[in-house]
Structure 1
């Protein structure tokens, strides 16, 4: 998270509203993003859902050592995120805005495909890299 004045390019009111719905209310929203000529489609989710999904995916890895390491690392990241959010709430920093966007079932769309191929990919990107977006409620 960053203060608005530190990251002005991410203060699109519609995007922030969508991110708040996913982060605070657990809403999931179908979205298509345009990023420097690349199109990515998926379901917009909050960071908590993103980390939970990554951890669940890590638990499906066949290599037990890799499974354990991935589970631990992503659990640590999730706990750090939760801790950061709690600190923000305690300090009542209402002027904080998200700097990353999270998608589940993400797919890249090219000119050769008419609709995105369904995948179970988790995607994370910087909000200030987004050139445009469309969504379906």
Structure 2
């Protein structure tokens, strides 16, 4: 056993959640999921990283078009952003940044999120993309 082995901290990530995210990333499909993170209840559609990148690129393009009416410039900015995002967000089936094949994902991607407000009501934010670290999730269940 090396010094690194003795001092290595175990992953805080929920392996069951990582396996679910991995399965849906591989299948390229979506499922409704509810997470608890830092005392906040968050619901949305679990989506694969490629859909997250495409959605973020479309949102950037839309925002750029509101500032400038230049469609070609907006398309170029969105493409550059999506290319840069793909370089840091692993879009392979393992979806784990800087890890080898078969590694479990470290991040979860949601769209059309709903957040529980202080009064108990859900605030739904459609056409929104969310990315979070699986190790920061305290609990989860499939469905809303």
Q: Give the TM-score category using the shorter length.
A: 0.7 to 0.9
Residues 75-107 of structure 1: CA deviation (Å, up to 9, x unaligned): 321255458779x9xx9632x111111101112
Structure 1 position 11, deviation (Å): 4.3
SS of 1:31's partner is strand
- Unpaired segments ≥5 residues, structure 2: 1-7
- Report the Cα distance in structure 2 between the residues aligned to 1:117 and 1:83, rounded to whole angstroms: 27
Which structure has the bigger radius of gyration? Answer: 2
Give the paired residue count.
Answer: 128
RMSD, aligned α-carbons:
3.1
Residues 83-136 of structure 1: CA deviation (Å, up to 9, x unaligned): 8779x9xx9632x11111110111211242434424221111111010001112
Structure 1 position 71, deviation (Å): 4.1
The correspondence of residues 57-136 of structure 1 with structure 2, limited to 5 A, is 57-61=59-63, 62-64=66-68, 67=74, 68-81=76-89, 93-94=101-102, 96-136=103-143
Post-superposition, which runs of at least 4 consecutive aligned residues in structure 1 deviate over 3 A?
64-71, 79-86, 113-116
Asked whether the equivalents of residues 34 and 140 of structure 2 are also in contact (C-alpha less than 8 Å), the reply is: yes
SS of 2:126's partner is coil
- Unpaired segments ≥5 residues, structure 1: none
Change (3 A) 1:84 1:19: closer
Determine the structure 2 residue equivalent to 1:8.
11
Asked whether the equivalents of residues 26 and 93 of structure 2 are also in contact (C-alpha less than 8 Å), the reply is: no
Asked whether the equivalents of residues 44 and 104 of structure 1 are also in contact (C-alpha less than 8 Å), the reply is: yes
Asked whether the equivalents of residues 29 and 45 of structure 1 are also in contact (C-alpha less than 8 Å), the reply is: yes
- Report the Cα distance in structure 2 between the residues aligned to 1:118 and 1:93, rounded to whole angstroms: 34
- Report the Cα distance in structure 2 between the residues aligned to 1:106 and 1:10, rounded to whole angstroms: 21
